[in-house]
Structure 1
Amino acid sequence: MNQPIGYWLKHLDGLIDAAFDRVITEDGLTRRHWQALNAPASTTPSIMSDLEARGWAARGQLTPEGEKVRAALLRRVEGIRGTLMSGLSSEDYEHTVRVLSHMANNLQRVSP
């Protein structure tokens, strides 16, 4: 606990990325694919083309198969979130996010 906040932020970010990558890459996907399955309308053309080639999207919308894949991935992602939040309340999480957001806003105000 003696490390500064920057250490913990980077360390946690790396752990989240690694856990996320483990569950997403099981199906040969990337985080971009996961994001695209959650917001197909704002997806880059190359990722959308890949989703369409897999039969998971058509004309910028998820197909029924795409919805099934998204639901399966969501269960895995929720497992990561559950592990991350183990021993913490939703209030702890919300407070942490508020504090980090406030710190970021403080620095953004003084950054050129």
Structure 2
Amino acid sequence: MDFKHYPQEQVAAQAIGYWSREAANLVITSLRTALAEEDLTQPHWWILNHVAGAPGAWTRTALTGKLTRFDDQNTDFEAVYDDLTDRGWLTTTSGALALTVEGEAGRLRAHDRNAAVHTRIRQGIDTPAYAATIDTLRRMVANLGGNPDLP
């Protein structure tokens, strides 16, 4: 894809709201499309990833409490847990969630799909520029009274 360069003053005069929303919409759509190839939604991915990162540490209630702030789809998290359980990907022992072997395999497939999207997103952007972009957005969030801490 061709990427046209403009004078810095012209770029700096652009509306951050437009570009941040455009980027967010395209990133989210790309990730959701990749996950849909595994018949997963973002909430499926969030649950799989969190449970894999801390096996036995999450209950449905605690994990739903953590994930709700990221949800823009009015997700029925209980239905997502049930779906993952019905697939044989998630188990619950004494209230604690854990992935099965099949669940970890599915999570790794979804991870690979997400990684491919992230690779596309980062084409032509080196790590210092990417980090500077994230820090700039974090600063804007803080300036507007939001929480700039990393999730």
TM-score after normalising by structure 1: 0.89
Match of 2:33 in 1: 22
Runs of 4+ in 1 over 2 A off after TM superposition: 43-46
State yes or no: 1:77 paired with 2:118.
no
RMSD: 1.5
Give the deviation of 1:10 after TM superposition: 0.5
**Per the alignment, in what secondary structure is the counterpart of residue 39 of structure 1?**
helix
Match of 2:142 in 1: 105
Give the deviation of 1:52 after TM superposition: 0.6
**Per the alignment, in what secondary structure is the counterpart of residue 108 of structure 1?**
coil
Greater relative contact order (Cα 8 A, min sep 6): structure 1 or 2? 2
Give the deviation of 1:22 after TM superposition: 1.2
Q: 1:88 aligns with which of 125, 129, 139?
A: 125
**Per the alignment, in what secondary structure is the counterpart of residue 58 of structure 1?**
strand
Please identify the structure whose Cα radius of gyration is greater: 2
Give the AA of the match of 2:39: G
Match of 1:52 in 2: 85
Q: 2:100 aligns with which of 60, 63, 67?
A: 63
Q: Output the CA distance in 1 between the equivalents of 2:37 and 2:79.
A: 20
Q: Output the CA distance in 2 between the equivalents of 1:29 and 1:36.
A: 11
Q: When the two structures are aligned, how many residues end up with a matched partner?
A: 109
Give the deviation of 1:17 after TM superposition: 1.3
Give the AA of the match of 1:50: D
Give the deviation of 1:101 after TM superposition: 0.5
**Per the alignment, in what secondary structure is the counterpart of residue 27 of structure 1?**
coil
State yes or no: 1:39 paired with 2:50.
yes
Query: Which deviates more, 58-67 or 100-109?
Result: 100-109
Q: Percent identity?
A: 30
Give unpaired runs (5+ residues) of structure 1. Answer: none
**Per the alignment, in what secondary structure is the counterpart of residue 125 of structure 2?**
coil
